[in-house]
């Protein structure tokens, strides 16, 4: 079963997190920058881990934004998707990890089976996020700006909850 870890990264942080997720997952997976992908990339895989940062006041990372129409056209029926988001809860407390929420909604609408989507809000301080559904985050949330000391533990905990799906 092929696993694609697809990410968009402007400053390198989301790419670093994607790499750490791949290493922690411990099974074969391909790292793919959304800037280098196409519709065929999504057709190649059955399982996905999708990651993005959020820029400005809740905007998608540039490469995700540039490829959004392709992403919206993907038929995710029969495919499993887990999400991770990178954000800054202190400076962007009213749009914290919104990018992950935007990508989640599209995949869900397009038939994806969502996994890893019950990530607790405990330990984060923010006002609003499009990545909250049923009082939980829709995927793993990483704040390298303010809580980098918790990153590895969060990745390990999240991987334990999703690994059986891969």
Lowest mean pLDDT among 52-61, 68-77, 92-101: 52-61
Contacts of 5 (CB under 8 A, 6+ apart): 18, 21, 22, 29, 30, 31, 32, 48, 49, 50, 51
Query: What is the percent of the chain where pLDDT is above 70?
Result: 99
Q: What CA–CA distance (Å, rounded) separates 29 from 136?
A: 26
pLDDT of residue 48: 97
- What architecture does CATH give domain 3-165? 3-Layer(aba) Sandwich (3.40)
The ranges assigned to domains in the chain are 3-165
Residue 1 has pLDDT above 70, yes or no: no
What is the structure's pLDDT at 46?
A: 92
- pLDDT tens for 92-112 read 899 999 999 999 999 999 999
The larger pLDDT score, comparing residue 59 to residue 74, is at 74
């Amino acid at each position: 079963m092929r696993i694609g870890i697809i990410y968009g990264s402007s400053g390198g942080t989301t790419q670093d997190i994607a790499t750490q997720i791949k290493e922690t997952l411990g099974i074969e997976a391909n790292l793919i920058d959304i800037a280098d992908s196409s519709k065929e990339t999504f057709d190649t895989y059955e399982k996905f881990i999708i990651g993005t940062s959020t820029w400005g006041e809740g905007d998608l990372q540039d490469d995700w934004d540039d490829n959004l129409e392709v992403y919206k056209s993907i038929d995710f029926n029969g495919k499993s998707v887990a999400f991770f988001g990178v954000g800054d809860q202190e400076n962007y407390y009213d749009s914290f990890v919104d990018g992950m929420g935007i990508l989640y909604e599209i995949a869900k609408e397009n038939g994806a089976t969502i996994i890893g989507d019950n990530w607790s809000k405990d330990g984060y301080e923010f006002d609003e996020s499009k990545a909250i559904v049923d009082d939980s985050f829709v995927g793993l949330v990483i704040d390298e700006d303010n809580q980098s000391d918790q990153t590895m533990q969060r990745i390990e905990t999240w991987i334990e909850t999703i690994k059986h799906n891969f």
